[in-house]
Amino acid sequence: MGTKYKIVVIGAGFGGLTAVQGLKRADAEITLIDKRNHHLFQPLLYQVATAGLSPSDIAWPIRTILAKQDNVRVILGDVADVDVASKKVMTDIGDFHYDHLIIATGARHSYFGKDHWERSAPGLKRIIDATEIRKRILIAFERAETACDEAETRRQLTFFVIGGGPTGVEVAGAIAELANHALKKEFRSIDPGSARVVLAHGTDRLLPAFPEDLSAYAKEALEKLGVEVILNQLVAVDGDRGISMDGEDTPAATVIWAAGVQVPDVAHWLNIETDPSGRVPVGDDLSVEGAPDVYVIGDAALVSWKDNSVPGIAPAAKQAGSHVAKTLLAKLGSGRDPGAFKYSHKGNLATIGRNSAVCDFGKLKFKGRFAWWLWGVAHIYFLIGVRAPFIVATRWFWDYVTYSKGSRLITGVLPLFEESEKTKD
Amino acid sequence: MGTKYKIVVIGAGFGGLTAVQGLKRADAEITLIDKRNHHLFQPLLYQVATAGLSPSDIAWPIRTILAKQDNVRVILGDVADVDVASKKVMTDIGDFHYDHLIIATGARHSYFGKDHWERSAPGLKRIIDATEIRKRILIAFERAETACDEAETRRQLTFFVIGGGPTGVEVAGAIAELANHALKKEFRSIDPGSARVVLAHGTDRLLPAFPEDLSAYAKEALEKLGVEVILNQLVAVDGDRGISMDGEDTPAATVIWAAGVQVPDVAHWLNIETDPSGRVPVGDDLSVEGAPDVYVIGDAALVSWKDNSVPGIAPAAKQAGSHVAKTLLAKLGSGRDPGAFKYSHKGNLATIGRNSAVCDFGKLKFKGRFAWWLWGVAHIYFLIGVRAPFIVATRWFWDYVTYSKGSRLITGVLPLFEESEKTKD
């Protein structure tokens, strides 16, 4: 074993996992390091945040996925640094030598320098983000039910989503549906349907990656669900008091951040220049300039495409992972070198609510009910291979028929009960 | 509304919920107060702790269960005290007046005065207990995989369960199965099947509430699964170092407490004497001496039965809830007074592992495979009414066929990553 080629992969998201799986036949010693024990199907994370799915519906142990691939060792560890000169990854549980390194850390949400906003306006990237947001949404309704005055009720029933990309659109739509359907008739002092859901976006249309007519449709569909869409609007998060727009305050107990992404750590590890959002520029073969044994893929990489860059979506990360795997296989003597990476764009999908979605496949565009079913089928299909998707399908079907939401748990430590949960109870 | 009869119920477990549902036709204003937003199907909590089920499989919003019962208001609140003289329940979100009060808080685990043991040896009563224990179990295997020396590997792979009642037996059996089946082949440096699972019990047989032959069977069945059963053994939890028995240390990274229960708060609220475990002695009609308008039911009540007391199990709590509902209905002029509470014991069930359980129905006793299927069918049956149980049934069936465990997520803040999760990531 000791003399085998060593490949280290950081991150078991779509990119890292695909790279590892592509190296199945490699005569190498692969180490996959992740901070968490699970691979997350991020496109459905907003459904956990809005109580439609459970965490374990969309996350699976990395070990289980790779149980049968004998050339991989999975490590639960936190990468502290990379030493490019001596080819070493340093983690909290020890150092790992590599001959080739694949960095696939993904991105986090970005507050454009206002990191202190995070406490009041959490973003949505990890399971614990989703359960935190779910907790906040559900507690807001609870607090509204027992609020003593009108203003406090309004504040609790105001949900403010910042950022009109796919995540913002999906979250805003799902909160509106939760309020209008699943929570209906469950409260005595408030009408959940009177909740105010606001989606604020900085430019002149939602879903900027989609064609203009689909953006317009998304806005209309959200408004039909009762969401207030505000365009061309920059907002400031004002502590626990809510949102400030053009100097005017909107009290909102629940604020959700979906406005930008940033790649943490990688620039610092490699000690190189990145673009403003922390993405690492890579060459044709996805390797880093000056460190040809280091590849960066997925959201962490800056790869030019058309007059822009490859988008930070799951299919792009998978293509890059697969490409690097082929390159390394060629280096190890099995298979041909795939040459330069060419991103092939399949399309964009975003869902707005029940029976309402947008799909853009270039020439073909869909919206409405058919797009929604297409979205559902596509996601069930993508789940295949990581887990038997029929449990998710069953749950969705059930929720679709009954208008219910299956996972409305407030767990963890409630802010209001922090002390009692810890000491008394 | 203001002049209506006011009934306040504290706790939405089996007892409180049944009482409220029994008061469906009552011309009264019912307020149900719970610290959490969900009713928990506690008999299956050990399956969440051992990664077989997700939290949302066994917990449902109280509001959803009671959505159609118009005479109930559900309050998410933490009771601070009860003023019996002025008939008032004080909570963190305000006071609630009552004409009749039903206390159904349930019990917590008891450390027999050694409350500082809880940090090292958590018990299993709430969802967050279960996810904490799940996290510890899964992380222990992760740490064993990357441990640097033999002793540390052994420590990580030692799971110590304290207390041989149904919970202890179920947890120990489930950990052994997790190690032997679901985790098999997923690690490279360790053999999960080599994990040492110890179940220590203070008296001379497991499951003291069951007949002796079933206790003996349970011990045998656990040993067949590879669990070490130690009887007549008192243990001390020794900080993070593990377990001390007769002065000798057993290093164990994961210690689980299933050794005793205690009722918190109620004695203090009512300012009365209780039995050593905090249970409130009640009269024939389940009311409190000196406070005839206050009823205590479920695990919080001490009700004599045969030469002992009514056991702290779900069916007993439900019977008591139903009884008090009938008593109150009679007071409100609908229905006959049910007279004195008579507990009817249906039986005891405990599961040990796949195809292995014990059922005691008095004259009829079962063990082994048939008992296990009986246990499964009974639990699926009991789930009916609180939630469509077919999702749980589907998941179980899937796990049964594949030997897998569907919910192996490490979520929340890992102890090892505490800082980075909070600040960096």
Is A355 contained in some domain?
Answer: no
**Inter-chain touch B416–A36, beta carbons under 8 Å:** no
Residues B101 and B53 in one domain: yes
A contact residues 249-308, partner B, Cβ 8 Å cutoff = 264-265
Is the residue at A406 inside a domain? Answer: no
Residue A90 scores a pLDDT above 80: yes
Domain residue limits at B180 = 115-260
List CB contacts (< 8 A) between B410 and chain A: 36-38, 76
Contact (Cβ atoms closer than 8 angstroms) between residue A124 and residue A167:
yes
What pLDDT, on a 0 to 100 scale, did the predictor assign at position B113?
Answer: 87
Inform me whether the pLDDT recorded for B409 exceeds 90: no
The residue-averaged pLDDT of B269-279 equals 94
Reported as a single tens digit per residue, the pLDDT across B29-43 is 999 999 999 999 898
What share of chain A has pLDDT > 70, as a percent? 89
Regarding whether B255 and B270 lie in a shared domain, the answer is no
Confidence of residue A351 (pLDDT cuts 50, 70, 90): very high
The C-alpha atoms of residue A282 and residue A296 are separated, in whole angstroms, by 7
Q: Residue B37 and residue B127: Cα distance in Å, rounded? A: 12
Final residue belonging to a domain, choices A260, A286, A301: A260
Cα dihedral: B19, B23, B24, B28 (round 10): -130
**Where would I find the H helices in B290-389?**
314-331, 369-383
Residues B52 and B29 in one domain: yes
B222 & B148 share domain? yes
CB pairs under 8 A between A and B: 151
| pLDDT, tens digit, 9 for 90 and up, residues B139-182 | 999 999 999 899 999 999 999 999 999 999 999 999 999 999 88
pLDDT, tens only, A267-284: 999 999 999 999 999 999
A422 band by pLDDT with thresholds 50, 70 and 90: very low
Q: Assess if residue A389 is contained within a domain.
A: no
Q: What is the mean pLDDT of chain A?
A: 89
Domain of B143: which CATH number? 3.50.50.100
Q: Are B341 and B284 in contact (CB under 8 A)?
A: yes
A75 interfacial to chain B (CB closer than 8 Å): yes
pLDDT of residue B52: 85
Determine whether the interchain pair A409/B38 forms a contact, defined as Cβ–Cβ distance below 8 Å: yes
Residue A1: pLDDT above 70?
Answer: no
Q: pLDDT by residue (tens digit) across B7-19? A: 999 999 999 999 9
pLDDT at A387 over 90: no
Closest CA to B93 of A31, A310, A417, A213: A417
The active-site residue, picked from B118, B142, B152, B170, is B170
**Of A300, A308, A297, A260, the residue nearest A278 (C-alpha):** A300
Residues A156 and A184 in one domain: yes
Burial A376-404 (b: 16+ CB within 10 A, else e): bebbeebbeebbebebbeebbeebeeeeb
- Residue B334, pLDDT > 50, answer yes
The confidence band for B374, taking pLDDT boundaries of 50, 70 and 90, is confident
Q: What is the mean pLDDT of residues A121-125?
A: 93
- pLDDT above 50: residue A421: no
- pLDDT at residue A414 above 70? no
With bands split at pLDDT 50, 70 and 90, how would you rate the model's confidence at B57? confident
For residue A42, pLDDT over 50 is answered with yes
Joined tokens for residue B10: 């504290």
Nearest alpha-carbon partner for B145 in A230, A341, A63? A63
In the predicted structure, residue B418 carries a pLDDT above the cut 90: no
3-state secondary structure of B346: coil
Q: A393 or A193: whose pLDDT is higher? A: A193
d(CA B144, CA B149): 9
pLDDT for A391 equals 63
Average pLDDT over residues A337-350: 93
> Quick check: B125 pLDDT over 50?
yes
Q: Determine, for residues A420 and B187 on separate chains, whether the beta-carbon distance falls below 8 Å.
A: no
pLDDT of residue B419: 29
The band of B339, judged by pLDDT with boundaries at 50, 70 and 90, is very high
Instruction: Identify which of A342, A383, A317, A331 has the alpha carbon closest to the alpha carbon of residue A11.
Output: A317
Which segments within A127-204 are labelled E, that is strand?
A: 158-162, 196-200
B413/A128 Cβ within 8 A: yes
Look-up of token digits 């953006």: A215
- The yes-or-no verdict on residue A21 having pLDDT over 70 is yes
Quick one: B231 and B104 in the same domain? no
B136 and B88 together in one domain: no
pLDDT tens across A181-201, in order? 889 889 999 999 999 999 999
Same domain, B317 and B292: yes
Which chain B residue shows the shortest CA-CA distance from A414?
B36
- Please tell me the distance from the alpha carbon of residue B256 to that of residue B241, in angstroms, as a whole number: 14
The C-alpha atoms of residue B61 and residue B63 are separated, in whole angstroms, by: 5
Q: Do A186 and B38 touch (CB under 8 A)?
A: no
Q: Is the pLDDT of residue A119 over 80?
A: yes
Contacts of A394 in chain B (CB under 8 A): 390-391, 394
pLDDT at B24: 95
- Looking at residue A303, its pLDDT comes to 96
Distance of CA A304 to the CA centre of its chain: 22
**Rounded distance between C-alpha atoms, residue B72 and residue B16, angstroms:** 12
CATH number at residue B55: 3.50.50.60
CA distances (Å), origin B127, targets A244, A412, B59, B165, B184? 37, 8, 8, 20, 27
Q: Judge whether A170 counts as a catalytic residue.
A: yes
Q: Does any domain span residue A175?
A: yes
Query: What pLDDT, in 10s, does the model give residues B191-250?
Result: 999 999 999 999 999 999 999 999 999 999 999 999 999 999 989 998 777 888 888 889
- The pLDDT assigned to A184 comes to 85
Band of residue A85 on the pLDDT scale cut at 50, 70, 90: very high
Q: Are residues B175 and B251 in the same domain?
A: yes
Q: Does residue A275 sit within a domain? A: yes
Domain-terminating residue out of A284, A313, A331: A331
Any domain includes B28: yes
Q: Averaged over A1-7, what is the pLDDT?
A: 79
Residues B175, B77 share a domain: no
Q: In this complex, is the C-beta atom of B80 within 8 Å of any C-beta atom belonging to chain A?
A: no
**Would you say residue B346 has pLDDT above 50?**
yes
Same domain, B200 and B300: no
| A391 domain-assigned | no
Residue B157 lies in a domain: yes
Nearest alpha carbon to residue B348 among B322, B318, B314: B314
B39: contact with A, CB 8 A cutoff: no
Whether B52 and B171 have beta carbons less than 8 Å apart is answered as no
Determine how β-strand A28-34 pairs with β-strand B108-109: unpaired
The reported pLDDT for the residue numbered B384 is 62
Q: Are A354 and A400 in contact (CB under 8 A)?
A: yes
Provide DSSP, B141-210.
HHHHHH-SSHHHHHHHTEEEEE--SHHHHHHHHHHHHIIIIITTTS-SS--GGG-EEEEE-SSSSS-TTS
Q: Chain B contacts of A189, Cβ < 8 Å?
A: 73
Q: What is the pLDDT of residue A386?
A: 53
Question: Of A331, A347, A381, which residue sits at a domain end?
Answer: A331
Both tokens assigned to B67: 């959505």
Using a CB-CB cut-off of 8 Å, the residues of chain B touching A137 are none
Give pLDDT, residue A2. Answer: 53
Query: In whole angstroms, what is the distance from residue B8 CA to residue B293 CA?
Result: 11
Measure A131 CA to nearest chain B CA, in Å.
9
For residue A152, the model assigns a pLDDT of: 95
What global pTM score does this model have?
0.89
* Least confident range of A48-57, A138-147, B366-375, B376-385: B376-385
Q: Structurally, how many domains does chain A consist of?
A: 2
- Considering only the beta carbons, identify the residue of B127, B264, B410 that sits closest to A411: B127
Whether the pLDDT of residue B372 is over 80: the answer is yes
List CB contacts of A139: < 8 A, sequence separation 6 or more.
A410, A414, A415, A416, B76
pLDDT tens-digit map of A22-40: 999 999 999 999 999 999 9
Most confident of A41-45, A74-78, A389-393: A74-78
Q: Do B394 and A390 touch (CB under 8 A)?
A: yes
Task: For A187-217, give one letter per residue: b (16+ CB within 10 A) or e.
Answer: beebebeebbbbbbbbeebbbeebeeebbeb
Nearby residues of B3 by Cβ (< 8 Å), 6 or more positions away: none
CA–CA separation, A304 and A316 (whole Å): 12
Other C-beta atoms closer than 10 Å to the C-beta of B388 total 15
User: Letter for the amino acid at B229?
Assistant: V
Helices (H), B28-148: 45-49, 55-58, 62-65, 127-146
* Helices A212-224, A166-177: crossing angle, 10 deg rounding: 20
pLDDT of residue B416: 30
Same domain for B241 and B131, yes or no, is: yes
CA distance B351 to B126: 20
pLDDT in tens, B174-204: 999 999 988 988 999 999 999 999 999 999 9
